[in-house]
Amino acid sequence: MKLQNYIQGQWVTGDGEGSPLYDGANGEIVGYASSKGLDFGDMLAYGREVGNPALRKMTFQQRGRMIKALALYLHERRKSYYEVSYKTGATKADSWVDIEGGIGNLFANASLRKKFPDQPYYVDGEMANLSKEGSFIGQHIMVPKEGVAVHINAFNFPIWGMLEKCAVNWLAGMPAVVKPATLTSFLTEAMVRDIISSEILPEGALQLICGSARGILDHVMSQDVVTFTGSADTGRMLKASPKIISEAVPFNMEADSLNCIVLGKDAAPGTEEFDLFIKEVRREMTTKCGQKCTAIRRIIVPENFMEDVEIHLSKALSKTTIGDPRVDGVRMGSLAGPKQVEEVKERINTLLETSQLVYGDLDQITLVEGTNKNGSYMSPILMREDAPFTNTGAHEIEAFGPASTLMPYQTTDEAIELAKMGKGSLVCSIATHDNQLAREFVLGAASHHGRILILNRESAPESTGHGSPMPLLVHGGPGRAGGGEEMGGMRGVKHYMQRCAIQGSPTTLTEVTQQYQYGGTYKDGGAHPFTKHFEDIEIGETIITAKRTIIEADIVNFANVSWDHFYAHTDITALEGTIFEQRVAHGYFILSAAAGLFVHAAKGPVLLNYGLEECRFTKPVYAGMTIGVRFTAKEKIAQEKRDEDDIPKGIVKFLVDVYDETGETVAIATILTMVKRRLELK
């Protein structure tokens, strides 16, 4: 079988025989991959000219719904990918992380749309007042870049590696060209075929290169974004490409790193944390046969616990059943291919020049019955380095397989120093039930790590573990780890957008952003907004309410109803030395009184008011003062129906500006209302 590339809207077979791809579990040829004859410049131009405009004109809500639909489509077909995944040497558990973890990433990013506006762009942060009278302001907006995201991925996660990146660039409004590692590209191709067949994505939103992509970076432009996952050496070489430098192309690098785990000094043998530590290390050494960018390579242990850890960890590793992932009972599969085995063994032998082997065998391995010995199998390898400050190989050399090195420390400061000697990593863990020790370690080591997991008896039952990056948190790390960040919720989406500061009057910027900017001209909507359907409400339309004079009885009565008897509201003898001149009205009473002024009582399209997005009380209100409300439509976000019985609706955010008799604001808040739509979303 010869894999195909998906380019410019069609499946294309590369010229020539192509590179052979092997089943890691039995050594048989799976197929061949070639990209010879493809024009990478045309591919990128197609993404920019076809895919980019289609995605850019969609709103965040539309993109999010698109990603959700794709996630549901792939989830229905997920079982078909497992048989293909076994050929990469992955067990069912390994494949679950890659396949269902990748699809889960789509779901997570689809849900992230709720944090973005119902617009093709994003209004970033708060308005900046740039003038004395408020007639000149500034605001940041973010728009999708007008290029294509080029994703150069590693061989260890052929599906997750693609989906965790594409979910983000699609939500941002950019198309992607995916270049999986050729070694396991047959699994990526299987899923991309389904993605294209679904017709859920607009044309040009996704292209695939299964063979070599050497030279593709010669065609990137300033509006493109390049991401790389793989070895630090390769990443640095690509980052130095002339076009990357001359065009100032954003380059996000996530490199394999020498991640570590630390056993806290309190986590003695017999404690829950000690047992959790052993379990976590064993899992990280054997999951995906150690072929993970987040795998534990350095095991940092209190000097007096070294023997105990060596014994317990060796015992745990001895229970690992190794073999073809299609055979029942196998807990660790194979490496991706024979070249990986050769490279890992070479690195281990270099490490053993100063360390000692305490578990495993580089030449002998026991395989589960029914396993083809031609597969790329290895025993878990545990080494011990007793002089980690002198012999630094374990901090510099990575064996990208089921291999880790034990090393001792005496003080927490030494543990921190050893953790940092990896020169930057994706993730570090510490097993401890001492929260002060955890604080000391995190503050000391965080500068050198992208993520730190604190593992103890409280977090363990629901912990996703050392090796699992999560969509809402950043994945990346400083130094050797590449200095990049992926995912991270909204942070990851912004990576594919251009931030631009815009300046002008509040009225003009309201029209540009379609979010009401404080100080902008009020619009007369002709009727109370609570009498209007979602589609009929216009951003900036405002009602100026009737007024209400606050009296002493209001303050006393609210204290009795709310049980808020704070002295400033109830004890006028206690006000000396405070900022208050007399008994002050409760801030929440002022907000409640404001609602009484702006709410339209009759039944209408407004379904409910379900919360506040922000609220500040800016000036004391005393008995005798009169308040009114400037009530302005600030932002609108359409919502899809959850099911057939749901009501078509959208969210309208209203600015509640409460002012006193001098016209000065005393409280300001944004309320969220759910409002009926006339029509369903298409």
Which residue bears the tokens 């974004």?
225
Domain boundary (235, 255, 275) is at 255
Domain boundary (237, 255, 273) is at 255
Give 645's pLDDT tier (boundaries 50, 70, 90): confident
**Confidence (pLDDT) at 51:** 95
- Determine the Cα–Cα distance for residues 493 and 570; give it in Å rounded to an integer: 49
Q: Give the number of domains in the chain.
A: 3
- 533 found inside a domain: yes
**Cβ distance 495 to 505 under 8 Å?**
no
Burial class (CB in 10 A: 0-12, 13-18, 19+), 446: middle
**Confidence (pLDDT) at 646:** 84
**Confidence (pLDDT) at 476:** 87
Higher pLDDT, 263 or 337: 263
- Determine the Cα–Cα distance for residues 246 and 528; give it in Å rounded to an integer: 56
Per-residue exposure over 180-198, b if at least 16 CB sit within 10 Å of its own CB, e if not: bbbbbbbbbbbbbebbbee
- 509 found inside a domain: no
SS3 (DSSP) at 527: coil
Q: What is the arithmetic mean of pLDDT over 321-349?
A: 90
421 and 458, same domain (yes or no)? yes
298 and 247, same domain (yes or no)? no
Sheet holding 497-504, edge to edge: 122-129, 137-144, 497-504
Domain that holds residue 571: 522-676
- Determine the Cα–Cα distance for residues 291 and 307; give it in Å rounded to an integer: 27
**Cβ distance 649 to 534 under 8 Å?**
yes
The CATH number assigned to the domain holding 608 equals 3.10.129.10
The 3 state secondary structure assigned to 565-626 is CCHHHHCHHHCCCCCCCCCECCHHHHHHHHHHHHCCCCCCCEEEEEEEEEEEECCCCECCCE
- Determine the Cα–Cα distance for residues 53 and 397; give it in Å rounded to an integer: 45
Query: Checking phi first, is residue 388 left (phi over 0); if not, alpha (psi -120 to 50) or beta?
Result: alpha
pLDDT tens across 123-178, in order? 998 899 999 888 999 999 999 999 999 999 988 889 988 999 999 999 999 999 99
**Cβ distance 403 to 383 under 8 Å?**
yes
Q: What is the arithmetic mean of pLDDT over 454-483?
A: 87
CA R_g for the chain = 30
Q: What is the arithmetic mean of pLDDT over 219-248?
A: 90
Q: What is the mean pLDDT of the chain?
A: 92
Q: What is the arithmetic mean of pLDDT over 437-453?
A: 94
**Confidence (pLDDT) at 480:** 86
- Determine the Cα–Cα distance for residues 378 and 317; give it in Å rounded to an integer: 13
Give 681's pLDDT tier (boundaries 50, 70, 90): low
Q: What is the arithmetic mean of pLDDT over 516-531?
A: 92
The CATH number assigned to the domain holding 412 equals 3.40.309.10
Q: What is the arithmetic mean of pLDDT over 75-79?
A: 94
CB neighbour list of residue 499: distance below 8 Å, 6 or more residues apart: 124, 140, 141, 142
591 and 651, same domain (yes or no)? yes
Give 349's pLDDT tier (boundaries 50, 70, 90): very high
63 and 161, same domain (yes or no)? yes
Query: Residue 370 carries which side chain, given as an amino acid letter?
Result: G
CA neighbours closer than 13 Å in the CB half-sphere of residue 237: 7
- Could you give the angle at which helices 552-562 and 587-598 cross, rounded to 10 degrees? 110
**Confidence (pLDDT) at 14:** 84
pLDDT tens across 259-304, in order? 999 999 999 999 999 999 999 999 999 998 888 889 999 999 999 9
pLDDT surpasses 70 at 682:
no
**Cβ distance 421 to 394 under 8 Å?**
no
325 and 460, same domain (yes or no)? yes
| H helical segments located in 15-77 | 40-46, 52-56, 60-76
Domain boundary (255, 277, 300) is at 255
Could you list the beta-strand ranges (E) of 51-201: 122-129, 137-144, 149-152, 176-179
**Confidence (pLDDT) at 352:** 95
CA angle 547, 550, 551 (to 5 degrees): 145
For the record, the structure tokens of 194 come out as: 């389904």
Q: What is the arithmetic mean of pLDDT over 359-374?
A: 89
pLDDT surpasses 80 at 208:
yes
- Select from 436, 10, 381, 15 the least CA-distant residue to 212: 15
Give 25's pLDDT tier (boundaries 50, 70, 90): confident
435 and 321, same domain (yes or no)? yes
Question: pTM of the entire structure?
Answer: 0.88
- 501 found inside a domain: no
445 and 387, same domain (yes or no)? yes
Stated as kind and residue range, the H or E segment containing 19 is strand 19-22
pLDDT surpasses 80 at 314:
yes
Query: Which amino acids are annotated catalytic?
Result: 254, 293
Q: What is the arithmetic mean of pLDDT over 363-372?
A: 88
Q: What is the arithmetic mean of pLDDT over 71-83?
A: 94
- 126 found inside a domain: no
Least confident stretch, 139-148, 328-337, 557-566, 638-647 = 638-647
pLDDT surpasses 70 at 486:
yes
- 125 found inside a domain: no
Which residue bears the tokens 């251009």?
498
458 and 588, same domain (yes or no)? no
For the record, the structure tokens of 69 come out as: 């639909």
Higher pLDDT, 555 or 641: 555
